[in-house]
Structure 1
Amino acid sequence: MTKKHLITCSVIVVMVIISALNIFSTTPVMPAAKHIVLVPANLLFSKPAEAEEAAYNFADEALPLDDKKVDFKLKKSIAKHRYKTVQSNVLHAKADKVFPIIEPILRAYGIPEDFKYVPLVESGLRGGTSPKGARGVWQFMPGTARTYGLRVNRRVDERLNLRKSTIAACKYIKELYQEFNSWTLAAAAYNNGSIKLERAINKQNEDNYFRMSLNRETGSYVYKLIAMKEIITNPEKYGYKNFYSYNHLHQLPSFLVAYN
């Protein structure tokens, strides 16, 4: 009996030893690891492209949109020129006709292309006569027109000649830039006159248009130019649908431009 018991115990011990050897020699099966994609921090916390603030500027002079007053005035001006407010494509249509004439003249005189929006704000490209006597798409007063080479008399009024009046405007704008050393201030002076703007600069000891306190018309003038630039450049963004323009022809590939 004792002998049988010893044999049984020996067999059990051997089996335990074999089992232990099998356990430690077997490679454990681990659960499949999940595929982890590492995202750079700058992408993880960055805004999507469509949420980025638009880089608004006039003649490459940026607006300080961190200033709440500036941001409000710009948004207000853009809202006034949306399709819901204007209900017309007439400005786009007229711009398509005159921009091809105005743009090369601006380039020839070294004037930033953004000044082509001045006629849109000044006259809506109507070329009529204001209550004060300004006339043509560039809204020249008779005396200023004559100063910059335009004939204005009872029989001839070259303010109504698009090419000649644009050349005169370029001469005037270039002179204003030389005086104020800023395209933004040159635009403001075009609207209000250099003498009045210079007085405001000296009185306020400030030469940044966006920080100055000016009369209502001049104080909103550059904002209107930037708003017009936005509306004409991105018509669909502001509700002007089904509109094909010369302005967008420049954005097409060259092989498509050739067939338009």
Structure 2
Amino acid sequence: MSKIEMTKKHLITCSVIVVLVIISSLNIFSTTPVFPAKHIAYTPSNLLFSKPADDAGEAFSFANEALPVNDKKVDFKLKKSIAKHRYKTVQSNVLHAKADKMFPIIEPILKAYGIPEDFKFVPLVESGLCEGTSPKGARGVWQFMPGTARSYGLKVGHGKDERLNLRKSTIAACKYIKELYGEFNSWTLAAAAYNNGSIKLERAINKQNEDNYFRMTLNRETGSYVYKLIAMKEIINNPAKYGYKNFYSYLQKPLPFLVAYN
């Protein structure tokens, strides 16, 4: 075979290979690639509540505002807070008994002021539904400081302290909470501000350029505050699940032996 014929054959072979490569490339780029779901990161704008692994199927919430999805730090703090309030940890049914008496008074007042019902758990976290005075001077189930109490219409001083009046102090709390919501446009942040004060919370928001409570770095007490509210809500609404057996529950009928005892 002559050199000219060999060259022509070689060129034809190369041309065929090039055409095949081009066709193959066209097929590849005309096909939409499919990746395993685990490689696709999608975060919906309306975040759903995260669910700890051991509570799959359970939804946790506060005033219908959402926790970041699949956030290990959030899940850990929530589970830790719930664990702290289990019966085997606190060994007490007092909160259930007091909630049974006080919630029917607190709930309609919250509703009248347009405050989410979940705020009824604030007194449980703030004071354990006790009426004692804190070292800083806060008093009553809503733990009002004297100056704040007067600002929202409560009489404090001269032998009178309306912070101890459940109805009046709840009305004052509603006014304060509604004002906080108007400032932060978030019930979760309103709850945090109730604990820490609006000035300190606003500073933290500006400094961190972040207004999602669950993504903020706050002091220890305020940083765990909303988690405590959610935990208290879970414990009060599902007492038997967390080891509380001899309890009152405004959501359920009293246990038979409690009726007999009374």
Give the TM-score range, shorter chain.
0.7 to 0.9
| 8 A contact 2:181–2:187 mirrored in 1 | yes
Which residue identity does 1:230 align to in structure 2? E
Corresponding residue for 1:140?
144
Matched, 1:227 2:231: yes
Structure 1 residues 1-260: aligned runs within 5 Å: 52-248=56-252
Q: Distance in 2 between matches of 1:220 and 1:116?
A: 17
Percent identity, please.
86
- Structure 2: gaps of 5 or more residues: 1-53, 254-262
**2:34 counterpart residue number:** none
Query: What residue identity is the alignment partner of 1:132?
Result: K
Name the SS of the counterpart of 1:57 in structure 2.
Answer: coil
SS in 2 for 1:69: helix
Q: CA deviation at 1:244?
A: 3.8
CA contact (8 A) 2:81 2:228 kept: yes
When normalised by structure 2's length, the TM-score is 0.75
Following the alignment from structure 1 to structure 2, what is the Cα–Cα distance between the partners of residues 105 and 193?
23
- What number of residue pairs does the alignment pair up? 200
How big is the shift at 1:146?
0.4
Give, as a single letter, the amino acid of the residue that structure 2 aligns with 1:207.
D
**TM-score normalised by length of structure 1:** 0.75
Looking at structure 2, the residues matched to 174 and 84 of structure 1 have their Cα atoms a distance apart, in angstroms, of 36
Residues 193-244 of structure 1: CA distance to partner in whole angstroms, max 9, x if unpaired? 0000000000000000000000000000000000000000000110011434
Q: Which amino acid aligns with 1:236?
A: A
SS of corresponding position for 2:218: coil
Whether the 8 Å CA contact 2:97–2:248 is kept in 1: the answer is no
Which secondary structure does the structure 1 equivalent of 2:148 belong to? helix
Distance 2:252 2:191 in 1: 25
Secondary structure of the corresponding residue to residue 62 of structure 1: coil
After TM superposition, the runs of 4+ consecutive aligned structure 1 residues lying more than 2 A away are 50-53
Secondary structure of 2:252's aligned partner: helix
- Residue in structure 1 matched with residue 46 of structure 2 by the alignment: none
**Two-structure CA RMSD over aligned residues (Å):** 1.2
SS in 1 for 2:96: helix
Q: Report the Cα distance in structure 2 between the residues aligned to 1:72 and 1:214, rounded to whole angstroms.
A: 16
**Which residue does 2:7 correspond to in 1?**
none
2: CA distance between counterparts of 1:65 and 1:130?
Answer: 36
